[in-house]
Amino acid sequence: MKNDLFLRAARGEQVERPPVWLMRQAGRSLPEYRAVRASVSGFKELVKNPQLAAEVTVQPVDILGVDAAIIFSDILVVPEAMGCNYEMVESVGPVFPDPISSVSDIDKLTVEGAEESLAYVTDALLETKKVLNGRVPLIGFAGAPFTIFTYMIEGKGSKTFSKAKAWLYKNPEASHKLLQKITDFTISYLRTQIKAGADLVQVFDSWAGVLSPETFNTFSLPYIQQICKAINEVPVTVFAKGAWFGMEEMSKLDCQVLGLDWNIAPELARKWAPNKTLQGNLDPCVLYGTRETVAQEVTKMIDRFGSQKYIVNLGHGVYPDTPVSSLKTVIETVKAYKK
């Protein structure tokens, strides 16, 4: 590996500077991505084309100079492979025509065949590894069981996910049954990604923040821990957006890295999770500021976290209208950082 900063930081080893990559770094903010996206009929077609998925995965490495690539895919490939199909509707987002509504629907879901049904993801990983040729590590990922659960029950995105949350109270036993099925499939899927060359895997609990601490500890964290305990070939990052309240409990997970959104102070995160490498937590809206502002905020963030056991990233994904110049400023500032 020509540049192993990211992996060394993830393992808690000494680094010359903190590594940097950005969630959703391969996406609509890059003109080069938009050109590739325009060549296919839809988002899912791009995800399922290994050559094109590899191309857009590598774009941020070539254009921005990030220290890691993350495979271009989607967390919702998992419910689709389990038998709960979704459509990506323009200007709406993911829509499930037949969401889960009963225990019998759960019984119909499969937990087998991840390697076969999601071969297009592993093919994209294999192709990306060839193109990267050891320049930087490659990140694989999956959605956390609770986040996948919310889409399968709700049937679409939501501000509250009240329909999905209602299941936790009305149908706790069935909720656990569905969460376990998602967990079993996800473990198999992540192992397949590692076999195809993923150097680290990240678990995205994008909707953890809609839960109370008690429900998070009951319906989310135990299933994330199952995944962490099952994956020991490569480091694991857990990113639970909005779940700052669970930081102390998350510090007990068998993972190496905790991703942070912008709702928690670096000092508090260090206090609650001193044993973990931390990743984040720049507000993506900082990138709308001037070059000087972006550089100042990135430098201040590193100063507060410290340059060791730390990976520079945003507190969530890059927004589509983010100036590419700001993305480059983040990378340049990190690479020039000296304390």
Catalytic residue check, 199: no
Active site residue 74: yes
Active-site annotation holds for 270? no
Give me the helix-helix angle, 172-195 and 162-170, nearest 10°: 120
151 part of the active site: yes
| Residue 69 contacts residue 136 (beta carbons within 8 Å) | yes
Q: Which of 4, 17, 33, 151 is catalytic?
A: 151
Number of alpha carbons in the 13 Å side-chain half-sphere of residue 105:
14
The Cα–Cα gap between 58 and 69 comes to 6
Helix, strand or coil for residue 267?
A: helix
**Residues in the annotated binding site for substrate:** 24-28, 74, 151, 206, 316
* Distance (Å, whole) CA 105 – CA 132: 41
Instruction: Count CB neighbours of 275 within 10 A.
Output: 10
Give the closest residue to 46 by CA, choosing from 65, 28, 23, 19.
28
Q: Contact, 213 vs 246, CB < 8 A?
A: yes
Per the DSSP assignment, residues forming a β-bridge with 70 are 139
Q: Which residues of 153-165 are buried (b: 16+ CB within 10 A; e: fewer)?
A: bbbbebeebeebb
4, 154, 143, 181: which is closest to 94 by C-alpha?
Answer: 154
Q: Indicate which residue of 8, 11, 28, 135 is catalytic.
A: 28
Amino acid identity of residue 51, one-letter, is: Q
**Which residue ranges make up the annotated binding site?**
24-28, 74, 151, 206, 316
- Which of 4, 67, 74, 199 does the annotation list as catalytic? 74
* Residue 37 among the catalytic residues: yes
- By C-alpha distance, which of 240, 308, 299 is closest to 278? 308
Q: 3-state DSSP call for residue 38? A: coil
Q: Which residues are catalytic?
A: 24, 28, 37, 74, 151
